[in-house]
Every structure is written in C-alpha cells, then in structure tokens.
Structure 1
Amino acid sequence: MVFDTGSSDLWVPTYECASPTCMTLARFNSSASSSYRTEGKAFDIRYGDGSHVSGSTGMDRVLISGQVVANQSIGMASVDDTTIAKKGVDGVVGLGFGRAAIVKGYSTMVETMLTKKVLAQPIVSIWLGRQRVGGSTEGSGGAVIFGGVDTTKYVGNFTWVPVVDRNAWKIPFQGVSIAGKNLGLSGNALIDSGTSLIVVPAKAASTFHGHIPGAIDVPQIGWILPCNTSVGDLNFTISGQQFRVPAEELIVLFRIPGYAEYCKSAIDVSKSATDTDWILGASFMKNVYSVFDYRSLSIGLAQPSNLYNTLANITVLPNLSNPPPGQGGDGANGTHGDAGNDTNGTNSGSIALTSEVNVLLSFSFIVAVAFWS
C-alpha cells in the first residue's frame, strides 16, 4: 500500500478485478469477510498519467499495526489500471483531507480514527529511508506513525508551517538555492509522499537545470543529466529554516535509451501548464522528518537523524500544544466541504507521477499507531 499525503481516498483491488495486473496483487475477497458491508457508491479516480482505478465502495474493519479501525469506508476496485499496480503496489491509503476525496460523503481513515478517538494525538508522521546513487542505503523503507512520532529519526525542533490550502497539505516556501546560488524562486508546495520526485513548473525546471553542467531536456523523458555531473546541494527556505536535499539525491539511477551516460533528474516538470505550485515528493521527504497535524492544519518539519537502523522509540510528540493554525479549522473533526482536488474525479497531484521513472523508493513501511490506552 502507498501511504499518500497527496490524496484522500482509501482503496484496494478486489477479486472482481481480474486483469493480468490485478492477478499479481493481494486482492480483497469481500465474501470471506463476515464484517464486510456493501455501500455501492461508484467511484472512478483518474490520475495525471492517464491511468485510473474504479469500482464501488464498501465498509469493513481495517487492521493497522494491531489497531482495529471499525466501520471504515473503502473503495473496492474492480478495475485497477494504475501505474503503482504495475509496480506491485496493492492500493492506496489516502492521508489527505476528506474535503478533497474523490468519493464524497465518507470519512477518510484518519478522520475515522480521530472521530473514534483512537489516536493519542491528531497527527501522522512520516520518515523515509534514503538510497544513494551507487546503491548505498541509509535506512530501508520507511515508517508511518499514526498519532505519534519516532524520536530516534529526527533531531532538533520542528518548524511548523500552516497550510495555505484547506484541501491539501500545501505550504509556502520562500526561497530555493543550488550550490549556494539563490534561484529567485518561491511559491507553494504540496508535501506529497505519493510522488517520487520534486515536481515544478516548466520555467522553474529550466532555471534549476541551467545551473547543472550537461543537463538536457529530452521530449517524453524530461530533464536528464550526466550521471557524473557536478551538482550542488539543493536548499529550500521554509519559514526561515533551511531544508537541504543533498546533491546525490538529485541524480536518479534510471536507464535512458540513447543516453547511456545520463541519469534522470529528480526535478521533474509539472504536466499542467497552468499549475504554478510545486510538489515536494519523496526526493524531498527523504531528507526531513514530517509531521502532519490534522487539528491545526499545519506541517512540522525537522532535520532527520543519522540513526537509520536504531530501534524505534514511538511516543507522542512533546510540545504539540499550539502549532500555528492553517486555513480552515475542521481538519480533525471529520467534516466535509464542497471543494475537492478536482470535481471531474481526477487526482493530478499525487501517485500518478511515479510513472515517469522507477525511483529508488521502497514502499516497505513500518506502520505504527500511538493510541490511548
């Protein structure tokens, strides 16, 4: 499963999905579940790469890290043509807001957990391991913690940033530099665990790659660069703090026909010519520890520790009391507004973008829940 902060719906493939791709996945058999109930509301989620998933909704218990989430609405996919399915991923757990869900009128899994007061705190934290060019690994997979944090995976204090869009985990950034050179760029960025790369408007991509020797924009592929090129660290200024993406993270090992000595750039171009927002996917999130606060509608970012393989210490987040509030105030109470990411049922901001390149991100997560005893 992909734990996706860029989308809101929970869906899984079912036995009714009989395509060759579906047959390779772990499919849900509703007839074998005594607690399953049919809801029957049709859904069709179309992603930015043209792939889609469709079916109807049902309700069942969700077991996550030993904790049961009862009466949870789930999209039961009878058609799964998604790119992630072709990579062996069974489904999606959307961690976005219910207001942005494609299937309207139902609580997301996080909203259900909050409504039932399962979680010790109204937060989800995410840590991703890093795999470097050349194959070295700093921690494998990652960890998603509902209601708490792993104190071994970050150092220092959190920088709390209110969201600018009450439908998405989108925050402002005030500057971008590479190798110490200010690129004169600023804007808003979706912090998206379901996207592999850093996705930017075309003009920003040209500005960025103009500072990398040998970078080429190839039609149908995107920006590529010599695998041995000299790339400086990429730094984002967010609420006065610097968050660094190391130079080696900007080079993605990927075989490109006709360009034997080239690698894929971790900076990709948005498919929408009108979208001025950025997406900070796994290439960014591997270099921070992220906390998503559903009560204050804020994101907390901290520097990652180097204790990659240390036994986890899962606990509530100290001093959570009053991070700055984001726009809107109902992020944790399970209510739904009328606005969504796209009224046409298209989720253009999330997992579809993984189709561009098979990046070095493991979807093998440790999932834990910090809950009230």
Structure 2
Amino acid sequence: MVTFALTALALLASSVSALHSIPLTRRSGYVLESGAVNLTAFQNEVSLMATKYEKNNRILRTNLFNDKATSRSKLRERGAVSLAIKSYAVWTGPSYIGTPAQSFVTYFDTGSSDFTVADSSCPTSSCGSKARYTVSKSSTAVTTTTTVTTNFADGTSSKGTLIKDTVKIGGLTVTGQAVISSSSLSSTVADLDSDALMGLAWPALSSAYQNPVPFTQYDQGVGTKGVFGLALSMTAGKSSLTFGGYDRTKMTGIITYYPCGLTTSAAYRTYWQIAASAPFVNGVQAITTRVNMILDSGTTLIIAPAAAAAQFWAAVPGSAKLDSNFWTFPCDSPPDVTFGLTRVMKKWAVNPDDFNLGVIEGDESRCLGAVATQNLGLGTSWILGDTFLMNWYTIYDVQNSRIGLATKK
C-alpha cells in the first residue's frame, strides 16, 4: 500500500481541464410502494451476478488456459438462471461510437471487460427497443472476421461481430476500439436498462481478448496513463465517471493506493481487486482468513461465498437467515461494518444507511442486510458492489496496476 498527499498527486493527475467526466444515473426500483424493500429485485440481482461471473469464468478459462470443454452440467451447478425482471444496479451514461458519432446509453461495469452494443441487424425479439449500431454508417469502422459467441449457464447466448471503431466518452476519443456489435442478445444482457454495456476490467475477461477502453486509452496516450475515477451516489447529480485521470473536485484528503491483486491460481490480473482483505463487524474481524475483494460497480450488493457469509452474519448481533441468499438484522441496531484492505490497519467504512437495503415487508423491525451469498465460482473472493463503492471515491490506474481510495465529497 502506498499513500500520497493529494497535493503531491497533482503531479500525477492531469489538469482538471484535461479530464473527461460524464454524469451517471441509476435506475430506481428497490423499494415497493408500501415502502418495504423489493426483495424480488435483490434476489434477481444475485441471479444476474451468478450469470455474469459464470460468463467471466468461462472467458478466463478460454483466454488463459485454453479450456473450451467445460460441460453445460458443470456450469449449471453455479445456479445461474434466466431473469424475469430487469436489474436495478445499472449505472448509465452516454457514449458515442463511429464517425459520425452514434449515441448510446451505456452501462459502465468495473466487473466485466466487453463493450457490447446491439447491431442494426438485431431483431426486436432479441434486442427490444435498444438503440442500434449501424456499422455501415461509420466511416471509421473496420469489420473483422472475428465472431464472438457468449454462452450462459441458463441456456441463452449472445452473438456478434468484432468491430474496431472510434469511441468517444465525455470528450475523450480513442480509435480502433474493440466493440462487439451483437446480432442477438441473451436475455441476461437484453434486459439491462441500457443500450450498451461497457466493461472496464482487465483484457483477460474480454470475450475476444481485446483491450477495454481504459487500456486502449493508455496504449494511445490519451489522458493520464489509463486512469479513470468513479464517484457513485444515490443523490441525483452526484455520480460521475472520469476518464483521463481522476476528478479532484469529487474527493478530499489523501489517496490510499493498493496493488491490483492477481486472480487466485492464475498469474494474471483480471478484476480490479485487492488481496489479503477482510470485513470487520463492530471492530472485530468477521472471517477467519483474508481474501480478495473485487470492486464491481455492476451490483448493489456485497457478495461472499456461503461459509464466509455465514461467519460474517454470525458476528452481527440479532441477525437471522431470511432465505438461501440473504440475512436480516434488527433495524434499530445496525452493525458497524468496515473493510480492512490488505494487511494494513486502515479500514474503510460502509455507511449504515447503505448497508441497510430496506425494511422487510410485514415486519418493520427487521431490515435486509447488504451482505449476501452466492456461488460465483470465485473461490474465497468477495464482491464489493456499490453499497461499498458509494462511500468512497475510487481510482483505477492501468499503468501502475493499482486501485486508489479517497474520501468522497
């Protein structure tokens, strides 16, 4: 871990005028008309995450280990299912593809690596009302011979052609960016409340093993060293994604940097993750071993393997198991939850209001907790979704393979 004074970091960050920020908005829907938590929405989100990480695991095996023989039956064991309702954990903003630019409402996800958009040939039955990318209308588009097919454990799939084209985000422009122009979309992707999905994780998780936008930005020397910054908030107008550096107006104090960890059993970087970390409840470490923590803007939840989640909730006074994925706690006594990242003593808190997902319908004394469990095929690793990310300004540094956290304004 390396800590710098913010004034010193001015030498590393681009000037404010060189930053390229876009506002982000989030779909609502986690609260029922009664005021109780929409449990179905969160159960759906857990299923979506299972499907997403099943896809990531399959891509990783293919890209790094050339393992294309994983059976459908083994994939089904992870419990991924087709989704009956849309995910609400979608942070969206504008992006533009091609020359002249074609505009798309884009879901930005730090937990995946593909940039996927609906092709003009995609029928309504598959791509719904999403904006379509018309390759022939872009003078800078280069069509490759690569076809990308992504199979999901629920039996659905997406198929598209790899295109290289100019992409603009918040005034930042990269050329030859890999885009999957999809002629068909899995319901897993089609149901997302956006036109396009832009993954911001490492290239090893890309279906075609191509650079996501921050890595293209770094290779082309656009902005500052492949750095992007993320500020998430439930307050309207407070969320933004900044490319070409980080936005000092969104944070205060010092930035603490952690090395981006390697995926267990693979000497590669895949996710934006921090190793040797642990959750704490009321000041006491809540699990017996330290694990990788993956920062994923694609979910509201904090997701842990079953045994670790059970250990965590055993440390929460008055907690009770609600179903196979979730626990509740007494609304009048929320736990003090922090995360110790690496073995350094500094801890990062989760606001009790963020940890509390809402009151259980029919029992206003019980509240739904943000730590859930699901088998994502990640071994002992945890997922830190926006329940955690909304509390801090996060910086993702491609060149130096590190993650920064700072106090958010």
Provide the secondary structure at the position in 2 that maps to 1:231.
Answer: coil
* Identity level (%): 28
* 1:74-89 matches, cutoff 5 A: 74-83=179-188, 85-89=190-194
| Residue of structure 1 equivalent to 2:222 | 118
Paired with 1:274 and 1:170, the residues of 2 have a C-alpha distance of 12
* 1:345-356 matches, cutoff 5 A: none
Counterparts in 2 of 1:100 and 1:23: CA distance versus 1, 3 Å? closer
Q: Is the 8 A contact 1:224 1:262 kept in 2?
A: no
Q: Is the 8 A contact 1:201 1:278 kept in 2?
A: yes
TM-score w.r.t. structure 2 length? 0.65
Counterparts in 2 of 1:177 and 1:50: CA distance versus 1, 3 Å? farther
Paired with 2:157 and 2:359, the residues of 1 have a C-alpha distance of 25
Residues 248-288 of structure 1: per-residue CA shift (max 9 Å, x gap): 212224887x8787654311213246621111111111111
Residues 55-107 of structure 1: per-residue CA shift (max 9 Å, x gap): 11112211211232222120011222244532422222121122332212x33
State the one-letter code of the partner of 2:375.
K
Structure 1 residue 21, shift from structure 2 partner: 5.9
Counterparts in 2 of 1:112 and 1:202: CA distance versus 1, 3 Å? same
Matched, 1:93 2:198: yes
Structure 1 residue 245, shift from structure 2 partner: 0.4
Q: 1:68 aligns with which of 161, 167, 173?
A: 173
State the one-letter code of the partner of 1:193.
S
Residues 293-321 of structure 1: per-residue CA shift (max 9 Å, x gap): 1111111111212xxxxxxxxxxxxxxxx
Counterparts in 2 of 1:272 and 1:72: CA distance versus 1, 3 Å? closer
Q: 1:234 aligns with which of 317, 333, 337?
A: 337
| Residue of structure 2 equivalent to 1:45 | 150
| Residue of structure 1 equivalent to 2:128 | 23
Q: Is the 8 A contact 1:9 1:94 kept in 2?
A: yes
| Residue of structure 1 equivalent to 2:407 | 303
Structure 1 residue 177, shift from structure 2 partner: 1.4
Residues 309-357 of structure 1: per-residue CA shift (max 9 Å, x gap): xxxxxxxxxxxxxxxxxxxxxxxxxxxxxxxxxxxxxxxxxxxxxxxxx
Counterparts in 2 of 1:86 and 1:113: CA distance versus 1, 3 Å? same
Matched, 1:204 2:270: no
Q: Is the 8 A contact 2:332 2:365 kept in 1?
A: no
Paired with 2:310 and 2:155, the residues of 1 have a C-alpha distance of 25
Q: Pairwise CA RMSD of aligned residues?
A: 2.6
| Residue of structure 2 equivalent to 1:291 | 395
Q: 1:192 aligns with which of 296, 301, 312?
A: 296
Paired with 1:194 and 1:45, the residues of 2 have a C-alpha distance of 18
Paired with 2:158 and 2:359, the residues of 1 have a C-alpha distance of 27
Provide the secondary structure at the position in 2 that maps to 1:284.
Answer: helix
Provide the secondary structure at the position in 1 that maps to 2:298.
Answer: coil
State the one-letter code of the partner of 1:195.
T
> Higher relative contact order at CA 8 Å, sep ≥6: structure 1 or structure 2?
1
Q: 1:155 aligns with which of 252, 259, 268?
A: 252
State the one-letter code of the partner of 1:232.
P
Q: Is the 8 A contact 2:163 2:179 kept in 1?
A: yes
Paired with 2:135 and 2:359, the residues of 1 have a C-alpha distance of 39
Paired with 1:31 and 1:292, the residues of 2 have a C-alpha distance of 34
| Residue of structure 1 equivalent to 2:285 | 182
Paired with 1:173 and 1:223, the residues of 2 have a C-alpha distance of 25
Structure 1 residue 173, shift from structure 2 partner: 4.2
| Residue of structure 2 equivalent to 1:218 | 323
Counterparts in 2 of 1:63 and 1:279: CA distance versus 1, 3 Å? same
| Residue of structure 2 equivalent to 1:308 | none
Paired with 2:252 and 2:378, the residues of 1 have a C-alpha distance of 38
* 1:238-253 matches, cutoff 5 A: 238=341, 239-253=344-358
Q: 1:145 aligns with which of 234, 242, 267?
A: 242
More helix by share: 2
Counterparts in 2 of 1:273 and 1:260: CA distance versus 1, 3 Å? farther
- Which stretches in structure 1 are left out of the alignment for 5+ residues? 132-136, 306-373
Provide the secondary structure at the position in 2 that maps to 1:24.
Answer: coil
272-281 or 293-302: bigger deviation: 272-281
State the one-letter code of the partner of 1:163.
C
Structure 1 residue 289, shift from structure 2 partner: 0.9
Counterparts in 2 of 1:85 and 1:218: CA distance versus 1, 3 Å? same
Paired with 1:274 and 1:69, the residues of 2 have a C-alpha distance of 32
State the one-letter code of the partner of 2:296.
D
| Residue of structure 2 equivalent to 1:268 | 372
| Residue of structure 1 equivalent to 2:232 | 128
Residues 137-164 of structure 1: per-residue CA shift (max 9 Å, x gap): 3x54621111211112222111111122
Provide the secondary structure at the position in 1 that maps to 2:211.
Answer: coil
Counterparts in 2 of 1:224 and 1:112: CA distance versus 1, 3 Å? same
Paired with 1:44 and 1:251, the residues of 2 have a C-alpha distance of 38
Provide the secondary structure at the position in 1 that maps to 2:132.
Answer: coil
Q: Is the 8 A contact 1:198 1:279 kept in 2?
A: yes
Paired with 1:49 and 1:171, the residues of 2 have a C-alpha distance of 30
